[in-house]
Structure 1
Amino acid sequence: MTEKIREEEIMRLNEPPPPPQGDIMERIITEVGEMGRYQRWLFVSMMPFGLFFIFAYTVQMFIAATPQEHWCKVPELQHLDLDLRRNLSIPGAVDGPDWNRCEVYDANWTQVLQTMMPPVGSPTVPCRHGWEFLYNDIPYTTVVSERGWVCENAGIAPFAQTMFFVGSLVGCAFFGWVGDKYGRVPALIGANLIGCFGGVLTLFTSGVWDFTIARFIVGLCNDSCAIMIYIIVIEYVGSRHRTWISNMSIAVYCGGGALLMVGLALWLLDWRHLVLATSLPMLFVLVTPLYLPESARWLASKGKVNKAVNMLKKFEKVNRRGIPDDLMAEFIVVASQKSTVDESLRAVVASKPLRNSLLVLIVVTMVGNLGIDAILRMSESIGTNFFLTFTLSSASEIPALVLVTLVLDK
């Protein structure tokens, strides 16, 4: 009898622990299917938003790329061959490719045309009549070449990019609040519509400040245009599938989107068409309420129990697996109870373990993003071909995330 009791105890010890009774959603997902038909569809539905995110994040690099071969424009010499007028007017142009891109000889151009000799030794002055550009490295007109944002104006495009990231900071805070207040789906819709509006607005700019404001508005959607669907999908997927879902969605959709960005730029060869091609598709978000489920956790936290139950029943129908009645009844009871747990940021900061974890996440995210962003932003100046360098930098993200997916759970 004693041996039998011991055998039963050993068997109980070897059994996997049941899911925590308080985490009802985890138990429901286990019953309805951790990676069923609906979850697979949700994974696929992440694709457009991964593309929208990478389009918004990188498009300014392509519309504001600077052709490296440029020099001061001299109206009196425009009837001459390109190489000849450059050699006659630009200091150092005769000696090689490292000519002075921001200064021109202060000369009597009528006399220069008579002698057809560069006025070597003449004083130089900054460009007075704009610049000429060779489109060997960037094979289309960009905002920079169109508006002469080089030399003393070279800081304009980086400033606009900085304001994009300021917008991202504001947008993440704002749409995070919207997601908590009104739901993940409304936040997703709002972020993408703002991004589309800012992108289209870019086409109607003509100066520095209107362009910068337009890029700030696009920045408001950065991250938020994709993170909300990311949160929803991760919630509805079983815990053992979350590693590959979270990493492979970034690898395939964001990494693939960066490669698609290069193809679009080289196909369209027009910065305005490129802005339209990367902004207007964001309107796709208007159809998401037809297929994208709202977060059941969020619905339950707001007391919208019936909507949460209906959302879970949709999973039952699509996955063809039912949720036990007693588990659903338990979910309804728990969801109907008013939570007494403080889930505010103040509570996070007050808890030492949570506060330390938050600080570590902030530092790690900043370091990681700085490394990734620096490599991408330097694509224009690393090597001789911006598009090739950007492609290689972006493509390296795919095997890196595949490696993370394979080893993270180990």
Structure 2
Amino acid sequence: MLFLLAILLVIALILIEVPIGFAFGIGALFYGFVAGIDISFHATAGFTQISAFTLLAIPLFIYAGSLMGAAGISDRLLAFVNAFVGRTKGGLGAVTVLTCALFGAISGSAAAAIAAIGRIIVPRMIEEGYPPGHATALLSVSSVLAFLIPPSIPMIVFAIAIRESVAKAFLSTVIPALLLIIIYCVLNFIFLRKNTSIKVSPKQPLAKTAHEAIFAGKRAILALLMPLIILGGIYSGIATPTEAGAVAAVYALFVGLLVYRSVSFKNLFGTTVDAARLTGSIVMILLFLFVMSRGMVLANVPGNVADFLLSVSENRIVILLMINLLLLIMGMIIDDVSGSVLAAIILLPVTQEIGLDPIHFAAIVGVNLGLGNVTPPCAPLLFMAGGVTGTPLANYVGHTMRFLLLGHVPVLFLVTFIPELALFLPGLLD
């Protein structure tokens, strides 16, 4: 009961916009105070967990993504994708989806994808006749791909929390991400098929299109190589995720400063400070989450949750549906990193009781938390997309729900009930 009160306090603090890390910190202090527990015991465990070598990959990937963003790669990626699909009706929508996926493979951050791509592509879409609500909604739902395309920061955190391979957790969400890319592109074309206000660039000879694609590809090649370097190093066994993150940071620094020359030393300082600030906020969140999770384990909260769900039903399908409902609620209230830790702590015992593979569970968590982050009422990515593009929420929330109900929700059900979608690629590493 005391721990339930602490959790309710955390939720209340988050809803009144207290920073998530501090909300969990206050919740942990409250629980320790009312339960008469020495909080320093939990704090020691929290510091031990955030000192894990694998977690060092997070600041390195954040810094690499920040550097590549400062180098202006979003323009190059947009031009590259646009060369292939830009001259069809609804083509710019497909460009948005594909570019968010590519940017996610570089930065690992959905918020960074919205900020870098939204300011460029959405005004252009509106200028060419796209409904502002449709353009903003497509940006918000596509940003979730950054959760699912490796390297994914939430998957790093989740893998560490459940003590599983980061490389396998990365691969578990790749097929779901590909399905979402295809479905969102198809839905975009379907929704716009009767829209007569959209301007379409005239067709041109294949040779000229090929020339444009080659030119755009040359400009974007160094950006496109970055995820290949990261993932190639990890899956070839040459580097751990942390070492790959270090290589990515050095590579991004080299590209931005010396090749593209779009990052000056003055910009470099600002970019470094921004990356450090983001890293600090994530570490603060993780520390207090680990402190609170220690209290959860000692209070047997995971075991109680498992007992409760199993008392409702022993049917595997029903339990999976209840797990997804809890994950969706988590994603609607808190960010992806916090949700990953809580899912690992609270729901992993339930999945173990029904024999769910931890890597399969990783895919479910990734897809579901992404859905929650663009689902009202809190929906941080949904509101961020509107803020970046200047579109009122009422103009795009309906469009967003259409994309989610027809695209993201079906993929979530597929991933939940067809384990091979999550386990096929990780199985290749065995």
Q: TM-score, normalised by structure 2?
A: 0.27
Q: TM-score, normalised by structure 1?
A: 0.28
Larger Rg: 1
Larger helix fraction of residues: 2
Q: With CA pairs under 8 Å and 6+ residues apart, which has the higher RCO, 1 or 2?
A: 2
